[in-house]
Every structure is written in structure tokens, then in C-alpha cells.
Chain A
């Protein structure tokens, strides 16, 4: 089963939060939406979750009881214990007695939250609270799982735990759409979607995004065209959308010391953002 938003446009007053965005989320896979503050990530996720209505386009999502959604806010009740939080949500989906006890024990164990079962959500660390939110989103075995920045602001070890939980959900057949501000996480997903100011800058499996990237990137201490250059460590990288005249290790016509680089995802996202800024008036 594949879920999707197609040609989706969402406006908030004069602001266009999503502009003709199409994203498909097949069962058994993780689709990661990456972008900065204001890129439209949350709006895209909320559109698929049915939390925001479209001005144009269509949504293909399962019925609500087959959908799990972790909002960017905590997703749990601070004054309830871990167990109470899970039981409350499970009750909404009709899970009870032995079935609930078994499911709760399994999820607590997988999320390494068993020792914290009796603790108030307010007393959990940020990473534990995100894991609790995840457990609550998945307790009813949803077919579509939507996670809004599950790993933002938490420590790297909890991030790895969360990625394992997300991967397990996909391995058991769920369609997972998650947002992140971290490119290394997007790289890890089967399919990544880069959003920039409400539009899809590029999407696909990382290998294909990289293979399809057109143009060349060079590095030097002084770039030739400042508006096409950005900082990487001690040097600057520069994008040549049409390619440099030729691409030996020192391209002719460029200052000495300029070398071609193999772009990573950070380079590709910056280059495509610059191409958009430098060619489309905003």
C-alpha cells in the first residue's frame, strides 16, 4: 500500500506553506523530509495526517484508526506516567486487558523504557520523552506512521534508539514519513525529500539524488563567483550549474589551487538552493 500527497498546495493567509508538492510513502519504507525552519516540513506531515486541509491537491491516507502521528510537540501528557500515557492512547484504539499488557510490555522493552514505566512524563529526559511519543504513535500498529522531527534536540544515543524503532516499524510493513533537520538522517532513509520554502528541491533515494545532480562543485580558498559559493570548513565550495569548462583536478581558467570535489548531500542541497535563489526571484 502506498500513501501520498499529490500536487498539494497549502496557504496560510498570504503565505504559501506548500507549493505543488507530491510525495509518495510506500509501505515498508522510510521517507525522510528534510529542510530548515519554515521549509514546510510540518505542513506536509500534517496534510498527510489530515490535520490541515489543502487549497489544492489530493491526499491518500488510511482511515484515522490506521494512522499514527507524532507531532513536533512532545506528544505525551506531562502529568501522566509512562504507563498511563500508553494505556490512555491504547484505550482510544480499543486495546485492553491482556492484549494491552502484552503490547505495552513489548513496546517499553523495545524502547528501553521499562525501568521508567512508573515515572511521570514530565520527569523523563528529552530523548526518553520522544521515545514515549513514538511508542504512543505506534501502539495500535498503524499502517501509516507520521513522525514530526522525532530526533530533534535529543542526544545521539537516543537518536540511534529512535532510528532503530523507526526502522523496525518499516521492517514490519508500515509506511513511515518522518521529518528531520539533519542531512545525515535523511541520507539513511530509503527515500529523501528536500523541502525549501514550501517546494520540493529534490527527492529520491540518496544514490539517485547524487547520480542525477548536474553541474560541478569546486573548492578553493577564494571562490570566483561569491553568489555561487559557500563555506565548508577552512575552504569554500562553489557550484557550476553548467559544469566548469572541463574537470581535471585543476580546471583551466580558474585560480590555482582550485580543485574539483565529489559533492556530499550538504553540497547538493546548498547548490540546488542557490540555483533556485539565483535564478528565480523570491
Chain B
């Protein structure tokens, strides 16, 4: 109980008649990396803003580092927004000095990959290096709770692995890390996932827990182009997967009928859905095709 770094208890937020976050309870423990997933409008950003104390809850309660998320507790928070929050017109060293002064901490030492860039303007750096600088700036004061918004999007695989090393090192020293993302390659790096839809927390656990028993339909046929056209014309949410076809949100019997009517031979097989497909199903309940 005392170990929990961040806890939301039955948190709701309304904007006028619109309920952005609806009765969400969640927590973050030391040493864990949790991933918060959800389509646009699912309520992720509003929830985060309440957890960080940037907006008030309509009802419910947020505990950050043992109490309400006030100014003093927010000092022990590290946050890297999607836009990184760096000054493009300042050098790497100047950016780090600025944030170190703001948090009242020592200027962090540059890791080997960044030393050569110390006096380069941040806007002239490749995106991967900019992200490393943003991490350094946000983490120099050893925050207890770290919130990262799509921390590795847009960088190559090696830069992504290096960023995850930094994130994991923070968790290993005891911080709790909350990553908001809608990319599967980020979700798969987390210890635990939280899935939001329409303001509610609808699933929680591993990737397998999130997907649960939901399935997509894999359509295999020699004539994929015609099968694809027939299914698309019938309004099914079809997708290409190599030379196979996947349908995320439909009933196999209905699809079989569409294909039969078009005179196309195909095998239909239920396969486990992906996290993206699960999100599609949540935001658009299945319709008969």
C-alpha cells in the first residue's frame, strides 16, 4: 500500500456534459513499466493530466508519491511529452543546464553517444539524439514517477533499444514508469498494459490478457485481389497481411457468404487478434457484413 507510487481511485472527469474519464482506478508500483493504450479520444491524455495534478478530478482521488499531486510532489516527477519539451535554439549543454536549474539538481553527465553533440543546437540533432537529451533533462533529478508519451516513436531500431535501456535503468533503481502509446512495438516492452476506451479502463494485464479471447478472421485464397475487393465492397474492415487477408471485426459466416456469392474459393480461419484490432473492435462494435 505504502509502496504504490501512483494511484487513481474511481477517478472521473467531466467537461460539461462530456465524460472524458469515467470511473478509472489504476496504480503504478516501484520498478514497473506500465503501458497506457487507447485510441484518440479514449481519455489517456485527460487521465494523465489528472495523475500529474495539471487538472482537477471531477470525482475520485489521485495519490502521487503518498499524497495529492501538489507542487511539492510534482518536483519528484519526470515527464517527457511527445514534443520533447526542449529548446531547439539552445545547445544540448544549455538545455540540460536549464532543466537542472529548474529542478535544483546537478547538470547530468553526457553519455558517450552525446558528448560530441554537447555544443550542437538541439534542433540540428537527429531525432534519436533529441529524445536522449529530453530523457536526460527529465530524469536528472531521479524522479520517483516517470511519465513518457510515445517515448520511442520515429527513431530507428538501435536508437529505440538505447532509449529502452535508459527507461529500464530508471525502473531498476525503483522508479515507476508510465508509458502512453498506441504503438505495439512500445507496448510489447512494458511489464503490464492498461487499455482505455471511451473514458473507461476496459482491460489490464499482459498483451495476452488484453487480447483475451477476441479473434480476427484470416482469409486464405489464391485470388486475394478479388476476395479483397468483394469483402471491401460488402463493407468488411479488411486488411492485407502479406498475401493473406485479415478481417478484424466480422462474423466468419457472413464473410463466407460474401465470398461464396462472388464465386471465390477461400479458407476462413479465426486467429488471435492483435492489440490494434482489439482497439478497433472496442471503438467500433462488430456489425454484420
Q: Mark A229-265, 1 if CB is under 8 A from B, else 0.
A: 0111110000000000000000000000000000000
List which A171-205 residues lie within 8 A (CB) of chain B.
Answer: 171-173, 181-184, 188-190, 196, 205
Contact of B185 among A154, A230, A266, A273 (CB under 8 A): A266
Quick check: is B25 within 8 A (CB to CB) of the other chain?
A: no
A-B contact count (CB 8 A): 132
Contact of B228 among A37, A168, A207 (CB under 8 A): A168
Quick check: is A118 within 8 A (CB to CB) of the other chain?
A: no
CB atoms of B154 and A181 under 8 A apart: yes
Report the separation of the CA atoms of residues A230 and B228 in the bound assembly, to the nearest whole angstrom: 39
Looking across the interface, which residue of chain A has its beta carbon closest to that of B42? A155
CB atoms of B280 and A153 under 8 A apart: no
Looking across the interface, which residue of chain A has its beta carbon closest to that of B227? A171
Contact of A127 among B40, B158, B232, B242 (CB under 8 A): B40
CB atoms of B243 and A190 under 8 A apart: yes
Quick check: is B98 within 8 A (CB to CB) of the other chain?
A: no
CB atoms of A172 and B157 under 8 A apart: no
Q: Mark A81-121, 1 if CB is under 8 A from B, else 0.
A: 00000000000000000000000000000100000000000
List which B128-164 residues lie within 8 A (CB) of chain A.
Answer: 128, 153-161, 164
Quick check: is B87 within 8 A (CB to CB) of the other chain?
A: no
Quick check: is B238 within 8 A (CB to CB) of the other chain?
A: yes
Contacts A156-B39, A160-B248, A164-B232 given; does A231 touch B126 at CB 8 Å: no
Q: Mark B116-135, 1 if CB is under 8 A from A, else 0.
A: 00000000001110000000
Looking across the interface, which residue of chain B has its beta carbon closest to that of A230? B161
List which B74-104 residues lie within 8 A (CB) of chain A.
Answer: none
Q: Mark B6-48, 1 if CB is under 8 A from A, else 0.
A: 0000000000000000000000000000000001110000000
By a CB distance below 8 angstroms, the chain B residues around A124 are: none
Quick check: is B251 within 8 A (CB to CB) of the other chain?
A: no
Report the separation of the CA atoms of residues A270 and B163 in the bound assembly, to the nearest whole angstrom: 13
CB atoms of B191 and A171 under 8 A apart: no
Most buried by A among B156, B157, B232, B237: B157
Distance between B195 CB and nearest chain A CB, rounded to angstroms: 11
Looking across the interface, which residue of chain B has its beta carbon closest to that of A188? B241
Looking across the interface, which residue of chain B has its beta carbon closest to that of A152? B154
Contact of B229 among A172, A189, A232, A266 (CB under 8 A): A172
Contact of A36 among B157, B240, B284 (CB under 8 A): B157
Distance between B34 CB and nearest chain A CB, rounded to angstroms: 13
By a CB distance below 8 angstroms, the chain B residues around A231 are: 161, 164-165, 168, 189
CB atoms of A36 and B128 under 8 A apart: yes
Report the separation of the CA atoms of residues A136 and B232 in the bound assembly, to the nearest whole angstrom: 20
Quick check: is B225 within 8 A (CB to CB) of the other chain?
A: yes
Report the separation of the CA atoms of residues A269 and B154 in the bound assembly, to the nearest whole angstrom: 15
Top 8 closest pairs, chain A to chain B, by CB: A36-B156, A167-B240, A37-B127, A155-B40, A230-B161, A171-B228, A269-B157, A231-B164
- B-side residues, CB < 8 A to A, are 39-41, 126-128, 153-161, 164-165, 168, 182-185, 188-191, 224-225, 228-229, 232, 237-243, 248, 274, 276-277, 279-280, 283-284
